[in-house]
C-alpha cells in the first residue's frame, strides 16, 4: 500500500506546494489544477493592482479575469526572466490602464485623476471577508476598513498605485518601481506623499489596518478560478 500511495503522490502532486515555475510547466500542459492554483495564488495582488487604477470592484474583477485568460493563452511568451507575479501584475496594470484610455483617449497613468465617470471607475465599498467575527468586532473592523478604502480611493492615481503596491500588497520599493516603470527614488517620494496624505486624513485609524484592505478571498477567489478555467475551455 505504501508503494501505491507514493506512486500516486508522485503522479498527482500537491499543487499548493509547487513553485510558480513548476506550476507554469503544468499549466503549459493544460493541467487545470495548476491553473486554479495560480489563479488563487495571485487573485488578491491582481485585484488590488487593477482596482488601484479603476476604483471599481466589478471592473477590477473583469481585469483580473482578462489578465489570467491572456496569460494562460500566451504562456509561451513567458520566458522566466522576470517573476511570474511581476509578469501577471504588468498585464493587469496594462489592461486596467487600457480601459481608462478607452474612456479617455490619450490618458496616461500620470493623468488619471479622482473623477469618477460612468464605466470608468468609481468609489465603491469593498466586500468584507467571508470570515465572520462577533457582530460588534466585525462592525468595528468594517467601519475602519471602509474609512481607509475611501481615503485610498481619493488619492491621485500615481500615489494610490504606489501605496497599494508597497503598503497594501507588501512589495519592496524596487519591485513596486519596476512594476510601475519608474525609478526607486521616484517610488519612495510618491509613497512618502501618499502616506502623508492619508495620515492627515485618518491618522488615528491607520496603524495596523492595511493588511485587511481590499480582500479578495473565500468564494470570490474560488469563483475566479472557475470562470478562468471555463473561458479557457472554449478558446
Residue range 132-165, pLDDT digits in tens: 455 656 666 777 788 788 888 889 988 999 999 9
Q: Which residues are CB-neighbours of 112 under 8 A, at least 6 positions away?
A: 53, 97, 100, 156, 157, 158
| Separation between Cα atoms, residue 47 and residue 35, nearest integer Å | 17
Per-residue confidence (pLDDT) for residue 13, from 0 to 100: 72
CA distances from 235 to 53, 72, 231 (A): 28, 11, 7
Q: What are phi and psi of 116, to 5 degrees?
A: -80, 135
Three-state DSSP state, 122? coil
Q: Which residues are CB-neighbours of 198 under 8 A, at least 6 positions away?
A: 148, 151, 152, 155, 163, 206
DSSP tag of 105: T
Per-residue confidence (pLDDT) for residue 71, from 0 to 100: 95
pTM: 0.67
Per-residue pLDDT tens for 179-229?
Answer: 888 999 999 999 999 999 888 877 655 555 666 778 888 888 989 999 999
DSSP 151-174: HHHTS-HHHHHHHIIIIIS---HH
8-12's contacts with Cβ under 8 Å and 24+ in sequence apart are none
| Separation between Cα atoms, residue 28 and residue 126, nearest integer Å | 34
Per-residue pLDDT tens for 89-128?
Answer: 999 999 999 998 887 654 444 444 433 343 443 332 334 4
Residue carrying C-alpha cell 469618477: 116
Per-residue confidence (pLDDT) for residue 62, from 0 to 100: 96
Mean pLDDT in residue range 73-87: 89
Per-residue pLDDT tens for 38-67?
Answer: 999 999 999 999 999 998 999 999 999 999
Q: For the chain, what is the largest distance between any 2 Cα atoms, rounded to a whole number of angstroms?
A: 65
Per-residue confidence (pLDDT) for residue 130, from 0 to 100: 40
Per-residue confidence (pLDDT) for residue 213, from 0 to 100: 74
| Residue in 139, 159, 140 with CA at minimum distance from that of residue 200 | 159
Per-state percent for the chain, helix, strand, coil, to nearest 5: 70, 0, 30
Per-residue confidence (pLDDT) for residue 211, from 0 to 100: 66
Per-residue confidence (pLDDT) for residue 232, from 0 to 100: 93
- In CATH terms, 20-117+135-233 corresponds, of 3.50.50.60, 1.10.1060.10, 1.20.140.160, 2.70.160.11, to 1.20.140.160
Per-residue confidence (pLDDT) for residue 135, from 0 to 100: 62
Q: Which of 6-15, 82-91, 208-217 has the highest mean pLDDT?
A: 82-91
Query: Is the Cβ–Cβ distance between 156 and 114 less than 8 Å?
Result: yes
Residue carrying C-alpha cell 479578495: 216
Per-residue pLDDT tens for 21-41?
Answer: 999 999 999 999 999 999 999
| Separation between Cα atoms, residue 138 and residue 60, nearest integer Å | 25
Amino acid at each position: 500500500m505504501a508503494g501505491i500511495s507514493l506512486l500516486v503522490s508522485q503522479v498527482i502532486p500537491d499543487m499548493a506546494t509547487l513553485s510558480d515555475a513548476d506550476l507554469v510547466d503544468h499549466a503549459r500542459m493544460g493541467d487545470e489544477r495548476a491553473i486554479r492554483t495560480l489563479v488563487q495564488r495571485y487573485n488578491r495582488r491582481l485585484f488590488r493592482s487593477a482596482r488601484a487604477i479603476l476604483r471599481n470592484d466589478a471592473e477590477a474583477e473583469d481585469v483580473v479575469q482578462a489578465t489570467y485568460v491572456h496569460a494562460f493563452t500566451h504562456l509561451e511568451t513567458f520566458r522566466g526572466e522576470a517573476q511570474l507575479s511581476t509578469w501577471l501584475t504588468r498585464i493587469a496594470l496594462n489592461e486596467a490602464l487600457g480601459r481608462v484610455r478607452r474612456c479617455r483617449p490619450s490618458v496616461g497613468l500620470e493623468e488619471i485623476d479622482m473623477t469618477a465617470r460612468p464605466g470608468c471607475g468609481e468609489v465603491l465599498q469593498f466586500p468584507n471577508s467571508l470570515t465572520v467575527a462577533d457582530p460588534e468586532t466585525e462592525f468595528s473592523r468594517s467601519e475602519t476598513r471602509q474609512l481607509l478604502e475611501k481615503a485610498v480611493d481619493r488619492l491621485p492615481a500615481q500615489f494610490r498605485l504606489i501605496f497599494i503596491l508597497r503598503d497594501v500588497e507588501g512589495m519592496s520599493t524596487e519591485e513596486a518601481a519596476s512594476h510601475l516603470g519608474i525609478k526607486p527614488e521616484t517610488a519612495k517620494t510618491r509613497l512618502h506623499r501618499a502616506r502623508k496624505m492619508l495620515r492627515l486624513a485618518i491618522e488615528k485609524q491607520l496603524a495596523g489596518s492595511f493588511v485587511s484592505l481590499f480582500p479578495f478571498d473565500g468564494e470570490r477567489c474560488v469563483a475566479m478560478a472557475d470562470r478562468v478555467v471555463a473561458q479557457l475551455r472554449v478558446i
